Amino acid sequence: QVQLVESGGGLVKPGGSLRLSCAASGFTFSDYYMSWIRQAPGKGLEWVSYISSSGSTIYYADSVKGRFTISRDNAKNSLYLQMNSLRAEDTAVYYCARCQGYVSYWGQGTLVTVSS
């Protein structure tokens, strides 16, 4: 069965950096676009970034453009999100998601807290 397992979340100070990982299994990872989506405490879902199956096409939400970098390693069935210059408003649960246009599978999420 499809599994997406995020890791790398934690507490970081404003201005700091963090790298999230997502380990995929149960499907042919290299066939699918992948996304990162976040949810601030008590708030709705916010798309962050997506990457094409080959990694050649990448888009970001305006709120993270220039600070976050999405990447993937198809040989390792893994998706990554490098987050730099973190702000308090980046505090959220970050979900890895498999995309078929729409999101068809979600990971369980990893919590990122940006606080001094």
Partner 1 sequence: QPVLTQSSSASASLGSSVKLTCTLSSGHSSYIIAWHQQQPGKAPRYLMKLEGSGSYNKGSGVPDRFSGSSSGADRYLTISNLQSEDEADYYCETWDSNTRVFGGGTKLTVL
Q: Which residues bind partner 1 (CB under 8 A)?
A: 35, 37, 44-47, 50, 59, 61, 95, 99, 101-109
CB of 71 to partner 1, least distance (A): 18
- CA distance between the termini of the chain: 40
- The span from the CA of 97 to the CA of 109, in Å, is 10
CB of 1 to partner 1, least distance (A): 8
CB of 83 to partner 1, least distance (A): 19
Nearer residue to partner 1 within complex by CB, 30 or 39? 39
Nearer residue to partner 1 within complex by CB, 50 or 80? 50
Residue 61: exposure state from Cβ atoms within 10 A (0-12, 13-18, ≥19): middle
